[in-house]
Chain A
Amino acid sequence: MIYVVLFFLAFSLFLYVLLGGADFGAGIVELFSSKENQQITKKTIYRVMGPIWEANHIWIIIVMVILWVAFPVYFNIIMISLHIPLTLILIGITLRGVSFIFRHYDAVIDESQKIYNGLFRFSSVFTPLLLGMTFGGIISGSIIPPEAIHQYGFGEVYIDSWLNSFSFLTGIFFSALCAFLSATLLIGEADEAHEKIYRRKSAIATIVVVLSGSILILYGYVNNYVFIKDFIQNPFSVSLIGASALTLIPLWIHIKKGHKILSRFYAGLQVVMIIAAAMIAHFPYVLITKQGELSLLEGIAPDSVIRVLGISLIVGGLVILPGLFHLLKSFKMIKVLES
């Protein structure tokens, strides 16, 4: 059953990165657009993302619930040492969620739109940046385990754990991934005149992804980060990254030829491969503390709990996934089904 739970954990995480990530990225793309294009992007995002907008963000709750139920020790450590960035993420999620709804559901369209738009764009950049930084914190080796926190000062325990160059680079990298996903998705949703805009955005985002990814690896390597060392030495991870880079070629070809579905598929696959490479590099040691690495499976919940959780997840999955799929299909998120 633990494998079922791990599968759902990874599955939810991937879907959060893909769907939620594309959603965050939409705000980033909107921010970095000219005034006129911002309006077009806003409308496109609403049309494309609107129906599945809520569902996109529930994956993070599923991830949280699985973590606290099945991996309580692990959850306990990140909740204590990453308290500040997680709180900031919550603010970001809150502002983003409400501004998205407010700007589309306010009965009167007036100056207040400016505030909603500003909030939406700002939180769309801020939130994935902090999500990336939190993940960077988890693997940067600066976390201090709860039993040792009294030996350190406030700054070392609660600030240095996530506010360091390594996790900042991870944050930039993750935000770029989101922008890349979103721009590639939007290409297929724009009319011919605007397609060009998103193609350019997608190309720029790709460059930022590659650049920030390389800098992250280089920085980690030079400064002896355990995670990066493991990453580079792991043949699976390296080949996945290589494969992800190679997929850029078919991606570009399909974008050029206007194959909407295939370009989406390749963009998604690329991101999945990158995240999977990072996960495999270190599995099952997902948390790197100052005093060593901690396995996800350490302090795992008892069998009886894992069994019930696994069953709940399977039942939930059977209910949710067909519904979600039907929703995506109904609103033409999956164009492949139309032909």
Chain B
Amino acid sequence: MENLDAARLQMAFTLAFHIIFACIGMVMPFFMVVSHYKWLKTRNQIYLTLTKSWQKGVAIFFVTGAVSGTALSFELGLLWPEFMKHAGPIIGMPFSLEGAAFFVEAIALGFYLYGWNKLNERFHWITGIIIGISGVASGILVVSANGWMNAPSGFDYINGEFLNIDPVKAFLNPAWFSQALHMVLAAFTATGFAVGGIHAYQIYKNRNVELHKKAFRIAVTFGAIAALLQPISGDISAKDIAQRQPVKLAAMEAHYNTEKGAPLYIGGIVNEETQEVKYKIAIPKALSFLSFGDFDAEVKGLNDFPKDTHPPVAITHYAFQTMVGLGTLLVIASLIFFISYKRKKWTAKNKYWLLFIIMAPLGFFALEAGWVVTEVGRQPWIIYNIMKTKDAVTPMPGMVYSFYMYVILYTILAVVVTWLMQRQIKVLNKTPIES
């Protein structure tokens, strides 16, 4: 394996890992806080038990997200020193603010975890809210830095030098809003359905049903609202990409030839050699409309761009299709969830719970697929149209060993965290609860 490929795989792998834990650590505090609020209001013991068990989940996920995030802050430099040398000062602002937000989160977490029976009840609850808010803030700030890689701004690029740097402008780059919105909604959807699915499984197995139903409802409400809003944000993203990164859009759609009134491809197998997409469903003119709001608008195809600036088309296309497909399933599940509020009969059926068990991992699959679209779709550039990934990689040879090491370490970690969660739930189910 070449050094560049190994470094890219390591970055992809560690990011993919971090994203899962960071999202759960960012969203779960909201579930915890809602349950905590209900405990304060109703003094129903079940909510206290639930809050305390979710808080353990938050602690475990937060720390795993935090250590993998610390690793990433080093890895940016360790793997891409040339990138950081130039980009570091430009995108320092979101990162330094993110450091502050993360810090606030850690402080609030200290208060929350250790504050039971020590702090004033209301203040204690508020520290829980601060965990959630600062978590989302750090998510937005980090995504803004990534947005800059897709929409580099806030500097003049003259003779290979980055001059007239304006960090605020770089921070508020054209991509930050659509990317951050899409990401935050994705995090809520994925975590809501994942946590809800775990509780659905317990209900399905008829364990501690009263508690798990309450937990399920809180988690999936967050997930379902986010899932229903996601298509709007997706549309904003698509229009933005069509404007700013037409080559990425063309790769997402595996669209080789420029045409007016371009059709939208659903599914299909991409042959990069012959530039064909077989077995697809084509919806006439839909791509033009979705990208530009005009059925006859011209969509640029890959052939209009130099070959050495094409991202890997097949991966980008499949990832995009996966994201949209899974997102659609989650929208349907969200509708079913809201309808079940009215039709209580549904929730008595095992099929209902089985559905949400199946949905549990899908949000995260969609979220990872979305990141593949963003990151692989930007290739071969690390800074779009400015710096190529191959020019940013570390000169240190043997990156492949570093990659293997991270794969082993993080795989073990993922297995252990899953095992720990299972132990938490087991113990929780054995705890007698009086309502």
Contacts A52-B110, A93-B71 given: A309-B93 contact, CB under 8 Å? yes
Question: Chain A 306-339 against B: per-residue CB contact (8 Å), 1 yes, 0 no?
Answer: 0011001101100110011001001100000000
Q: Does A233 contact B (CB under 8 A)?
A: no
Task: Identify A97's interface contact among B56, B67, B114, CB under 8 A.
Answer: B67
Question: Chain A 86-109 against B: per-residue CB contact (8 Å), 1 yes, 0 no?
Answer: 110111011001101110011110
- Chain A contacts of B81 at CB under 8 A? 76, 79-80, 146
A80 & B95 in contact (Cβ 8 Å cutoff): no
Instruction: Name which residue of chain B comes closest to A324, CB basis.
Output: B107
Question: Chain A 178-190 against B: per-residue CB contact (8 Å), 1 yes, 0 no?
Answer: 0000000000000
A107 & B89 in contact (Cβ 8 Å cutoff): no
Binds B, one of A64-72, A209-217, A246-254, A267-275: A64-72
A302 & B89 in contact (Cβ 8 Å cutoff): yes
Question: Chain B 78-121 against A: per-residue CB contact (8 Å), 1 yes, 0 no?
Answer: 10011011101110110111011011101111110111001100
B413 & A98 in contact (Cβ 8 Å cutoff): yes
Q: Does A168 contact B (CB under 8 A)?
A: no
Q: How distant is B415 from chain A, measured CB to nearest CB, in Å?
A: 12
Question: Chain A 159-186 against B: per-residue CB contact (8 Å), 1 yes, 0 no?
Answer: 0000000000000000000000000000
A51 to B127, CA, bound (A): 13
A107 & B420 in contact (Cβ 8 Å cutoff): yes
Task: Identify B88's interface contact among A68, A106, A320, CB under 8 A.
Answer: A68
Binds A, one of B217-225, B236-244, B394-402: B394-402
- Chain A contacts of B84 at CB under 8 A? 68, 72, 75-76, 79
Interface size on B, residues (CB 8 A): 67
B63 & A146 in contact (Cβ 8 Å cutoff): no
Binds A, one of B34-42, B300-308, B340-348, B422-430: B422-430
B395 & A330 in contact (Cβ 8 Å cutoff): no
Number of A-B contacts (CB under 8 A): 200
Q: Does B409 contact A (CB under 8 A)?
A: yes
A312 to B106, CA, bound (A): 18
A83 to B402, CA, bound (A): 10
B413 & A320 in contact (Cβ 8 Å cutoff): no
A227 to B207, CA, bound (A): 65
B90 & A305 in contact (Cβ 8 Å cutoff): yes
State which residues 10-66 of A face B: CB under 8 Å. 50-55, 57-58, 60-62, 64-66
Task: Identify B67's interface contact among A86, A94, A320, CB under 8 A.
Answer: A94
B78 & A312 in contact (Cβ 8 Å cutoff): no
B97 & A70 in contact (Cβ 8 Å cutoff): no
- Chain A contacts of B424 at CB under 8 A? 107
- Chain A contacts of B167 at CB under 8 A? 304-305, 308-309
A51 to B62, CA, bound (A): 14
B423 & A79 in contact (Cβ 8 Å cutoff): no
A65 & B92 in contact (Cβ 8 Å cutoff): yes
- Chain A contacts of B68 at CB under 8 A? 94
Q: Does B209 contact A (CB under 8 A)?
A: no
- Chain B contacts of A90 at CB under 8 A? 70-71, 74-75
Q: Does B336 contact A (CB under 8 A)?
A: no
- Chain B contacts of A53 at CB under 8 A? 110
Contacts A72-B85, A75-B84 given: A323-B107 contact, CB under 8 Å? yes
Q: Does A158 contact B (CB under 8 A)?
A: yes
Task: Identify A54's interface contact among B62, B77, B100, B409, CB under 8 A.
Answer: B62
B104 & A320 in contact (Cβ 8 Å cutoff): yes
A97 & B396 in contact (Cβ 8 Å cutoff): no
Task: Identify A55's interface contact among B56, B63, B73, B103, CB under 8 A.
Answer: B103
Q: Does B407 contact A (CB under 8 A)?
A: no
Q: Does B165 contact A (CB under 8 A)?
A: yes
A83 & B394 in contact (Cβ 8 Å cutoff): yes
Q: How distant is B81 from chain A, measured CB to nearest CB, in Å?
A: 5
- Chain B contacts of A52 at CB under 8 A? 110
Q: Does A3 contact B (CB under 8 A)?
A: no
- Chain A contacts of B168 at CB under 8 A? 308
Q: Does B16 contact A (CB under 8 A)?
A: no
- Chain B contacts of A94 at CB under 8 A? 67-68, 70-71, 409, 413
Instruction: Name which residue of chain B comes closest to A96, CB basis.
Output: B67
A313 to B77, CA, bound (A): 21
Q: Does A301 contact B (CB under 8 A)?
A: yes
Q: How distant is A321 from chain B, measured CB to nearest CB, in Å?
A: 10
- Chain A contacts of B266 at CB under 8 A? none
A55 & B89 in contact (Cβ 8 Å cutoff): no
Contacts A62-B99, A76-B84 given: A319-B104 contact, CB under 8 Å? yes
Task: Identify B109's interface contact among A54, A61, A83, A319, CB under 8 A.
Answer: A54
Contacts A79-B77, A304-B167, A316-B103 given: A61-B70 contact, CB under 8 Å? yes
Task: Identify B63's interface contact among A73, A91, A97, A327, CB under 8 A.
Answer: A97
Supplied contacts A61-B73, A301-B92, A302-B165, 6 more A-B pairs, CB within 8 Å: A52-B110, A61-B70, A62-B103, A72-B85, A98-B416, A319-B104
15 of the cross-chain contacts (CB-CB < 8 Å) are A55-B103, A58-B103, A72-B85, A76-B77, A76-B84, A79-B394, A102-B420, A105-B59, A105-B60, A108-B423, A108-B426, A305-B89, A308-B93, A320-B103, A327-B110
Task: Give B residues with C-beta under 8 Å from A.
Answer: 56, 59-60, 62-64, 66-71, 73-78, 81-82, 84-86, 88-90, 92-93, 95-97, 99-100, 102-104, 106-111, 113-115, 118-119, 164-168, 394-397, 402, 405, 409, 413, 416, 420, 423-424, 426-428
Task: Give A residues with C-beta under 8 Å from B.
Answer: 50-55, 57-58, 60-62, 64-66, 68-70, 72-73, 75-76, 79-80, 83, 86-87, 89-91, 93-94, 97-98, 100-102, 105-108, 146, 149, 154, 158, 301-302, 304-305, 308-309, 312-313, 315-316, 319-320, 323-324, 327, 330-331
Closest 9 CB pairs of A and B: A69-B92, A316-B100, A54-B106, A79-B77, A301-B89, A68-B88, A107-B427, A51-B110, A97-B67
